[in-house]
Amino acid sequence: MDLRSKVDTALKDAMRAKEAERLSTLRLINAAIKDREIAARGDGEEAGVGDDVVLSIMGRMVKQRQESARAYEEGGRLELAEKELAEIKVIEEFLPRQLSPEESAKAVDAAISSVGATSIREMGKVMAVLKEKYTGQMDFGKVGPMVKDRLG
């Protein structure tokens, strides 16, 4: 079952169980996926979006909510921060397990050796390999500096 179907099934289950907060988050996920599909159709792609695109959408949604929760906490709005954190938990149900820092380091080393990268100019190739293999499993904002340190 693809991710889109899993989200749709979870949405129907949340409707039946009358779980308002979960339902709200699932609808947000669904809307983001539909927006991307509409944009893809505008670009001439008829097939829709695949799991890799859905994973990147969800990863971005988690990151946005983490930033919002941090801002709410700093502003003393704990009830809003808790709402954002609850949404993160719902979204993360559909994401693969995140790699630990050690696993990320091993993945970076493996990608560098598979590409044969020796300088910072080849960072794009290394990042492309990592994104292809580990989309949704690692934070590329944190991995980028790690790759830069190893190549620089």
pLDDT bracket for residue 151 (50, 70, 90): confident
Residues 13-62 pLDDT 10s: 999 999 999 999 999 999 999 999 888 887 776 667 788 888 889 988 99
H helix runs in the chain, sequence order: 3-17, 20-42, 51-74, 78-92, 101-115, 123-134, 140-151
Which two three-digit tokens encode residue 49? 């979006």
Q: What confidence score (pLDDT) does residue 46 get?
A: 66
Which domains are delineated in the chain? Answer: 3-92 (1.10.1510.10), 101-151 (1.10.10.410)
Cα–Cα distances in angstroms (integers) from residue 102 to residues 106, 113, 135, 138, in the given order: 6, 17, 17, 11
Higher pLDDT, 86 or 118: 86
Residues 69-114 pLDDT 10s: 999 999 999 999 999 999 999 999 998 888 888 898 899 999 999 9
Contact 65, 91 (CB under 8 A): yes
Distance of alpha carbon 59 from alpha carbon 63, whole angstroms: 6
Helices 140-151 and 101-115: angle between axes, nearest 10 degrees: 50
Which two three-digit tokens encode residue 70? 């941090």
pTM of the shown model:
0.74
Higher pLDDT, 51 or 68: 68
Contact 147, 112 (CB under 8 A): yes
Q: What confidence score (pLDDT) does residue 47 get?
A: 67
Dihedral over Cα of 40, 41, 45, 51: its sign:
positive
**Average pLDDT of the residues of the chain:** 89
